[in-house]
Structure 1
Amino acid sequence: MARETFGVQNVVARIYDPGRAEIYQRLGIPTVATVKWTSDQMLRRLLPVGAAGLYRDPSGQVILAEMPVVEAWVGRSMEQIQAASGVRVAFLTRLGEGVVPEARTLLQDGDILHVLGTRDTLLTAQGVLDSAPGQD
């Protein structure tokens, strides 16, 4: 409301409901959330366990997920990762910045993949990306 009604550019929201916090963040509004949500975010980044769903389309068929990748994939191109995993790399986070990669963009150490796929393709992709290339 502050942004749209009063033209305030720099806003932040205090959120108690984790579901709303994620919605506000998708709208570009930084949030300060509850302990539960914050600890969940910390654990997801410290102890990645499978693909973490970030968005699901209204039909529930297409999922945008943050997907951990073993170090053996570092130096591989997005084209190679997509071909092997069966999911599309929507973007990656590199040094805290979102990057829309090209097919020839190479995965670097510390990159976080954000992929699009169905539930089944994400499960298959996680199995592929949890092992070294060519060992799935």
Structure 2
Amino acid sequence: MRVVIVGCGRVGTGLAAQLVREGHSVCLIDERPEARSLLPPGFPGDFVTGSGFSRPVLDAAGAGRADAFVAVTSGDNGNLVSARTAKETYRVPIVLSAVHDPQRADLFQEFGIPTISGTRWAMGRIHRMLLHRHLDPELAFGGGETLLVRSDLPPHLWGRPLVGFDVEGEIRVVEITRAGRSLLPAHGVRSERGDLVTFAVAATALGRLRGFLDKELGT
């Protein structure tokens, strides 16, 4: 994945370091040349000095080839303009933005830009949204260690006992929405076509849950 990150602060640098460790290509943008020094020694990604909504800067950062774009500067206005430019001009498939004033979150949503607020667990949430975007958590507990995630079930899981989806200490089915009605999963109940299932999942097991939904359970 090629990711452009605007904002070389605590969240931006931490996210960039994690992504390159996982083998992704990262380019950071920041108006402060000295912000480069905040990156880990030997950081293999790229760094471009300038505004996150400047076309020449975005071109230099490879926004036109990016798979994802993340705006995490300290200013909501700049984040919104950067994110809109990435989404509407460069057609980046995944665009996320930090928002510091919760009252402004609706404005981002009007432009179809998912937002992240709260510095305590922003980096982890952004990482999950980038790599597990079809499993965006509905609710998080504590510092984001436990999540509630809702997902449709793929055909290869139809007809399975719902208790068979549980993994001790990692994943548990806590609710099913079937034909518009919410049900608590009783023992022996099997999944059906069209079920929307709510999972309680440890943040560290989100990749495993995605694997369950992408292929045969437990393989």
TM-score computed with the length of structure 2 as normaliser: 0.38
SS at match of 2:134: coil
Whether contact under 8 Å (1:93, 1:99) holds in the other structure is yes
Deviation of residue 119 (structure 1)? Answer: 1.5
Between the aligned partners of 1:120 and 1:90, the Cα distance in structure 2 is: 18
CA RMSD of aligned residues (A): 2.9
Deviation of residue 128 (structure 1)? Answer: 1.7
Query: Which is higher, the Rg of structure 1 or of structure 2?
Result: 2
Where relative contact order (Cα < 8 A, 6+ residues apart) is larger, the structure is 1
Deviation of residue 54 (structure 1)? Answer: 0.3
Partner of 1:104: 188
Equivalent of 2:139, from 17, 31, 55?
Answer: 55
Is 1:82 matched up with 2:166?
A: yes
Moved over 6 A (4+): none
Deviation of residue 66 (structure 1)? Answer: 0.8
Matches within 5 A, 1:1-136: 17-18=105-106, 34=110, 36=112, 50-83=134-167, 86-133=170-217, 136=219
Flag the 1:68–1:130 CA change in 2: closer, same or farther, 3 A. farther
Deviation of residue 68 (structure 1)? Answer: 3.5
Number of corresponding residues = 97
SS at match of 1:50: helix
Whether contact under 8 Å (1:91, 1:114) holds in the other structure is yes
Q: Which runs of 5+ in 1 are unaligned?
A: 1-14, 19-32, 38-48
TM-score computed with the length of structure 1 as normaliser: 0.59
Between the aligned partners of 1:82 and 1:67, the Cα distance in structure 2 is: 15
Deviation of residue 103 (structure 1)? Answer: 2.8
